[in-house]
Amino acid sequence: IWWGPGFVVVAWIAWALAPTSGWAQVALLACVTLWGVRLGLYMLSRRHGEEDARYRAMREHHGPAFPLRSLWMIFWLQALILWLASSPALVAMGAAGPPVTAVVLAGLVLFAAGFALEVSADRAVARFKADPKNSGRLLTTGLHGAIRHPNYLGEIILQWGLGIMALGASLNPLALLGPALMTGLIIKLSGVPMLEAHLAGRPGYAEWRGRTGALL
């Protein structure tokens, strides 16, 4: 649940410590805050007091050693990833020169498109799961009838939107480190692969996978 709000805290601290702040920095701060708070609240609404299935599986696998292993496998590792993935905010807040307006606006448009896609996909999943008749079934209509993981696609798009905004505000290519890292994690590690493994045993999964792409 802390994942999204963690980015918000980093961004606000960076903004508070920055020697100067222009409209580009404020716009980026607003986008990070909107995304992070919404994501945190969405994850909170999904948990209902239950542990995430991925963490539960890790807890069962490691047994008594889990508390110590989770310190570095979950908390320290995620803290490091969060810091690196916050590069758009960290780089932009420290920029002193005038922004390249067209680039910042292009990133803002990209963020808005990705955010809208992610919210739409999450709402569709929430409505689907709210119906008891869909228990154990797959959502394969609407956005999910075109691609299997529209929420992850939206996340990738909005992250690159933040990176491009920061690039326009700072002219520092390190602004793109965060989006590149997040894209790699979603495609190769903690996003699509883990969710696909979780869904693979459900009826109709093979047919759904055969006619749709994961992200495109």
Instruction: Give the pLDDT confidence score for residue 44 in this predicted structure.
Output: 87
- The string of pLDDT tens digits covering residues 124-152 is 998 998 898 988 889 999 999 999 999 99
Q: Estimate to the nearest angstrom the gap between the alpha carbon of 59 and the chain centroid.
A: 23
Q: Which of 163, 170, 70, 153 has its CA nearest to residue 118?
A: 153
Please name the amino acid found at residue 105.
Answer: L
Q: In sequence order, which residues have a C-beta less than 8 Å from that of residue 215 and are 6 or more positions away?
A: 147, 148, 149, 152, 153, 156, 187, 192
pLDDT band at residue 195 under the 50/70/90 scheme: confident
Percent of the chain with pLDDT over 90: 69
- According to the model, what pLDDT value does residue 76 have? 93
Burial readout 63-98 (b: 16 or more C-beta within 10 A, e: otherwise): eeebeeebeeeeeeeeeebbeebbbbbbbbbbbeee
pLDDT tens-digit series, residues 167-191: 999 999 999 999 999 999 999 988 8
Confirm whether pTM is higher than 0.85: yes
Provide the pLDDT for residue 74: 85
CB-based contact 29:61 (threshold 8 Å): no
Q: Provide the CB-side half-sphere exposure for 159 (13 A, CA).
A: 24
Residue 32 — very low, low, confident or very high, per pLDDT cuts 50/70/90? very high
